[in-house]
Amino acid sequence: MLETIKHTCDRLSASFDSIGPTRKEILEKIANYIQNRVDENKDINLIYVCTHNSRRSHFGQIWSAVAAEYYKIPNVHTFSGGIELTAFNPSAIRALETLGFRIEKLNDNANPLYHVYYQEKKPVECFSKEVQDIANPQSDFAAIMTCSEAEQNCPFLPNASLRLSTTYEDPKLYDGTTQEHEQYVERSLLIGLESLYVYSLINK
């Protein structure tokens, strides 16, 4: 794991007391799902869902992969999706780079493909896509809603083993303001904190 990312994980994992009891109850449902898969030695497929698959869902996908590596939980595969195609938001990318992620842009399409590195190998692949895109698992997965719009409008996912809402305030609300970068970094860190909490509960 990249040293800057490990240091951030060390810092966040010392702050679990900042998560309220009601929120912990929700996060523990994700942990229970992961624990059951670990106990059965099965793959753990998690799709993080938000309307445009551009900000919060990518944060979820990336931090879940980081947390799984930090706590050495095997067979975890993280994905993201949405309802409408857009692109991985540049402000979200800048926030991740500020936190020490190394990000490579692989093409100049309207919806570019990015490789997000939190370790030297096996980057997280990020681009905007619909939940049902072939890049995502089509069955036997958990769908984790990161925004209220996705929770309300996401199509029925009959092959999801679990569908759970963990909504976060949209950093887009601060676009064009002096707080924009600060809010994107803050949202990323909050999602990182809660992802680490989930994986800290898993017994290997």
User: Is 0.85 topped by the overall pTM?
Assistant: yes
Domains of the chain by start residue, with CATH: 3-200 (3.40.50.2300)
- Tokens representing 192 are 């990182």
C-beta neighbour count of 180 within 10 angstroms: 17
Residue 67 C-alpha from the chain's centroid = 10
CA distances, 66 to each of 62, 91, 103, 110, 132 (Å): 6, 20, 14, 27, 24
Contact 65, 106 (CB under 8 A): no
Position with higher pLDDT, 155 vs 190: 190
pLDDT, tens only, 99-133: 999 999 999 999 999 999 999 989 999 999 999 89
pLDDT, tens only, 131-166: 989 999 999 999 998 886 655 656 667 788 888 989
- Tokens representing 90 are 């540049």
Residue 71 C-alpha from the chain's centroid = 16
Is 58 strand, coil or helix?
helix
Closest to 54 (Cα-Cα) out of 117, 148, 146, 158: 146
Task: Name the region of 175 (left: φ>0; alpha: ψ -120 to 50; beta: rest).
Answer: beta
pLDDT bin (cut points 50, 70, 90) of residue 54 is very high
Tally DSSP H helices, then E strands, for the chain: 6, 7
